[in-house]
Structure 1
Amino acid sequence: MDFMQSVKTVLKNYAKFDGRSGRAEFWWWVLAYIIGAILVTAVSRTLGMGDILTTVYGLALIVPNVAVSIRRFHDIGKQALWVILMFIPLVNLVVALIFLTKPSDGPNQYGEGPQPPAA
């Protein structure tokens, strides 16, 4: 899955909390979100608006961020409640490095998986 396809998939499934998302989809989305946040912050400060646009940007994308995180946890066989740990400072870095970088485990209770199995 490439950059644009990942962004389109996350935005298309912005409120879909079931199913699974692979590593590529999740991490491309994280990159797109960070790039967007940097650009919105630069524009906001250039226009003298402080962090108003950045706050609006973050609030507008909170649902897609949570949804793709839940689907990513589903991909590695974890429950959606693990997303709560993503809101705790420093713990979120450990959770991201340990769990969200794991490869897909294959079929599990949340579905077949984001990618077809290699032949």
Structure 2
Amino acid sequence: MEQMSHAVRTVLSKYATFQGRASRSEFWWWVLAIFLVLVVTQLIDGAVVAPLLGFDAFASEAGQPLSWLVSLGVILPNIAVGVRRLHDTGRSGWWILIGLIPLIGTLILLYFYIQPSEQAENAYGAAPA
């Protein structure tokens, strides 16, 4: 849990920083933390917010306003940490746009994200600790 909290603090402190590098562990701990936060917000949306809005609990027509707000709030750090992760593997951050290609782009990005970090300093800075 300490690694996850450190990764979350690091990513949030670099909220919209697209320069530098993000280690593989920082990136994947961030992904796990955001996944867990979104699961919790969806549960709260279904169990609490939907009935407050006059819908049945977990009704799909109630929407998920809390989850949408959280997703909107973390979209910039998600993109930034993705770009920094690409930098860590020696690739340009512009490769993140390949994710716009359905399925194939996502699979290519996943492949890039799971690659090991470049050990030495690269064009994007020193290797993260």
Q: TM-score, normalised by structure 1?
A: 0.89
Aligned equivalents of 2:105, 2:69: Cα separation in 1:
22
Structure (1 or 2) with the greater helix fraction: 2
Deviations 1:19-75 (A, max 9, x none): 000000000000001001111111011120521111111111000000000000000
Residue 60 of structure 1, aligned match among 61, 64, 73: 73
Residue 99 of structure 1, aligned match among 112, 115, 119: 112
Q: TM-score, normalised by structure 2?
A: 0.82
Structure 2: any 5+ residue segments left out of the alignment? 51-61
Aligned equivalents of 1:40, 1:89: Cα separation in 2:
26
Indicate yes or no: 2:93 matched with 1:89. Answer: no
Larger radius of gyration: 2
Q: How many residues align?
A: 115
Percent sequence identity over matched residues? 37
Structure 1: any 5+ residue segments left out of the alignment? none
Aligned equivalents of 2:85, 2:28: Cα separation in 1:
10
Q: CA RMSD in A?
A: 1.5
